[in-house]
Amino acid sequence: MLSLGLLARNWRSFVLRGVIAILIGVVALVQPAMTLVALVLLIGFWALIDGVLALGHAFDAAQAHEPWWPLVLVGLMGIGAGLFTAAPDHRLLVHFSRSLGDRRGGAAAA
């Protein structure tokens, strides 16, 4: 729990966090294509790491004689989703930009 004394001593860090958040918001508004690319790649990286960790948990579950196949399924789907988002032809970015209303594919297709 944050106390007023802690906030008073560390006010500079809270102001810095706020300024950085505002700058990120301005960049997202000014460069929406770059923001979309960064968001898709971040989600893809997260899915890839989550899939690898799920496979690791599946091996642990198999050794403990617990149901392991759902974890393998989730792990393979996560790895597949992560690799799909990193596809060199940017299929997912084109799909996202079209679903957001840009029927030409926008800057993501370029």
Percent of the chain scored above 90 by pLDDT? 35
Whether residue 21 sits in one domain with residue 42: no
Please answer whether residues 91 and 98 qualify as being in contact, where contact means their C-beta atoms are separated by less than 8 angstroms: no
Whether residue 17 sits in one domain with residue 37: no
Whether residue 58 sits in one domain with residue 13: no
Domain, as residue range, for 5: 1-30
**Single pTM value for the model:** 0.64
What pLDDT was estimated at residue 2?
52
Angle between helices 32-63 and 69-85 (to 10 degrees): 160
Most distant CA atoms of the chain, gap in Å: 54
Average pLDDT over residues 3-10: 72
Rg of the chain on CA atoms, in Å: 20
Domains of the chain: total = 2
Owner of token pair 């799920």 = 54
Whether residue 63 sits in one domain with residue 46: yes
Whether residue 61 sits in one domain with residue 104: yes
Extended beta strands in the chain, E state: none
Confidence band, pLDDT 50/70/90 cuts, at residue 110: very low
